[in-house]
Amino acid sequence: MKNNLWMFSVLIKHFPMYVIGFMFNKILMALPAYISNVLFLNVVINHLISHKPVYILLIYLVGLLAFLILVDIYNGCFVHIWQPRANEKIKKMFYNNFKNAVSRFEISVYDDPDYYDNITYISQNIFNDSIAALSYICDIIAGIINIILILNLFATIGIGLLLISSGSVIFSLLLNIPIAKLKNSHRFKTNQINRKKQYFFNTFFDRNTFKERKMTPVSLLLGKYYDESNLELQNCYKKYGRKLFLLNFASEAFSSSFLMNFGLIAFLLYGVFISNTIEGGDFIAAYNGTNVITSTVMQIIGVFALMKNNAFTIEKYRKLVAFTQLAISSCENSDFEVNKIELRNVSFKYPGTNRMVLRNINLTLQKGDKVAIVGKNGSGKSTLINLLMGFYWPTDGEIFVNEQLLKKTDCETYRRQFAAFFQEMKPFEATAAENVALDTSIDTDKLTQVLQQTCCSSLMNDPENVWIGKNLNTQGLILSGGEYQKLMLAYCLYSKQAIVVMDEPSSALDPISERNFYDQVSKFLDGKMIIFVTHRLSTVHMAKYIFVLEDGKLIEEGTHSQLIKQDGLYKRMWDIQYKKYGKENG
Ligand code: ADP
């Protein structure tokens, strides 16, 4: 109830007219049950018994018809015209809040499958469950109005009616609580399995997996996992389905069929024929009235039980929103320019794992430095970058920025000092200009300049109208790996950030383009702090200083010529690569 009321207050604050319209519609839709089945019937039967003129009856009838038509018109307008538009506005509010929250998440949440389960669960259910909250609260209000209108029947016909209807209500209440709980856990479980199933299903359509699917039998593997999750889902439905059937059957059979129909008719017949306490004319009105009142009370009770369902989603959503507000407030007023970054005795293991992938790292970077981090695959280069950029937090040791200890609350601002491109980055489905700016506002002059500097202008002479990607636009360009790397260099040149990080930035470039690439880096990024990560040493000597990692440890550091003299790992890597590339490429 608490969560539903919270959601109700959010909706009424942002969409007051919609909530009023919604509530009015609910009340109107609930009234005909009382007006036509109880009030009108009562009036007609009493009228017939007392032999009043027929035209009065006709006036009542026309009045009832007019009322029902007006209710239908209002309901039609609300459901088909006003509600769909308002729904989109509500979805937009959720989307914005959701987007804000997700943008505050740290990368570590992506290492946790629970994160995906929660996030997909909230995103898929929050809209429907918020409207459900509104609907439930309106149902309760409309139901109470209906009950008050019919309550006088109990006063005239007696306590027996009250016992029968309250008996079936209590029975239904007792069964509705476990039903709601069961549905809840079922919904979460199926969401989990569906996410898995969806992943394997989507992979069949993913452009990135096309070649593997054509060349290898990987589709069989994906199919196998898809079938397994499908089976898991079927078993889940089977298990929950049986329990739900039994509980629902008990609820329906005993409360509505047995108690309400059999018990009520028997009680009324007894009153009319044996004890003579009920008038013949009141029989139908009493029967219908008790049915309306009981089903309304049951509906209200059902609503309380259903509220547990959507409260589950709303509570998760509330936590998400609260988290965003906390993150926003803690990031306020923290602004600084990075001149020096220092890692002191930093060790790190990924969340949920036991192996230290970085051990006792000490290094200092200053404004204007050009450094390279080199090492074999898996030595910890990307992890070190993740820590340097504040994406992960050291397990041991500290990071100092401008001689100050870096705090988690400063991270958002700190990370905005970086322009980086990583191997796993992909172009967005957007224009070329937007892919360079990675922003909504674009400085056209600067854009033209950087595209010329990075030799991208030959590829796209109208970057603001050239679309990248083919998912949404058949005329879109598919960039080669090298072209995309050039575009990302354009992004680094375009951005105002003081630190540039490049992870294997030239891996897809031919030797001539690679040479140009580093010339452009030296020429146009001068004065910025540049960190690049590579295991290819053919170009690394352009860095002023080199850090060598092996198995998570910083084993060597120095300039290219110092490291060559040391006869360590760097020298060995250099010799091997020089023999391989050096002789071929000159
Ligand atoms: P490099 O960039 O030098 O190739 P990485 O920094 O990517 O190496 O990886 C270092 C080690 O950390 C590897 O053993 C890798 O398997 C592990 N690793 C990388 N990312 C994660 C992660 N998100 N969770 C767990 N282990 C990871």
Helices then strands, counting H and E runs in the chain, come out as 21, 12
Residue nearest to atom 25 of ligand 1 (CA): 350
User: Directed axis angle between helix 481-494 and helix 444-453, to 10°?
Assistant: 130
pLDDT tens-digit readout, 253-291? 666 656 666 777 777 777 777 877 776 666 777 777 777
CB-ligand 1 contact for 380 (6 Å cutoff): yes
Mean pLDDT of 218-240: 87
pLDDT of residue 497: 86
Q: How far apart are CA 524 and CA 493, in angstroms?
A: 7
pLDDT of residue 333: 44
Ligand 1 atom nearest to 111, measured from its CA: 23
Q: How far apart are CA 215 and CA 234, in angstroms?
A: 32
Pocket test for ligand 1, best of 348, 383, 502 (most atoms within 8 A of CB): 383
pLDDT tens-digit readout, 422-474? 877 888 888 888 888 888 888 989 998 888 888 777 666 788 888 888 877 88
Q: How far apart are CA 162 and CA 291, in angstroms?
A: 11
Distance of CA 320 to the CA centre of its chain: 10
pLDDT of 326 > 60? The answer is no
Give the 3-state secondary structure percentages of the chain, helix then strand then coil, rounded to 5: 65, 10, 20
Give the Å distance between the CA of 563 and the centre of ligand 1. 25
Residue nearest to atom 7 of ligand 1 (CA): 382
Ligand 1 atom nearest to 379, measured from its CA: 3
pLDDT tens-digit readout, 534-586? 877 776 767 889 999 999 999 999 998 899 898 889 888 888 877 655 444 43
Give the Å distance between the CA of 383 and the centre of ligand 1. 6
pLDDT of 480 > 90? The answer is no
CB-ligand 1 contact for 377 (6 Å cutoff): yes
pLDDT of residue 299: 77
Confidence (pTM): 0.68
pLDDT tens-digit readout, 505-529? 777 777 787 777 787 777 777 888 9
409, 440 in Cβ contact below 8 A?
A: no
pLDDT tens-digit readout, 12-53? 999 999 999 999 998 888 777 777 777 777 777 777 777 777
Q: Which two tokens stand for residue 585?
A: 């490429």
Closest CA to 361 of 340, 381, 377, 376: 381
Mean pLDDT of 147-170: 70
Q: How far apart are CA 209 and CA 268, in angstroms?
A: 71
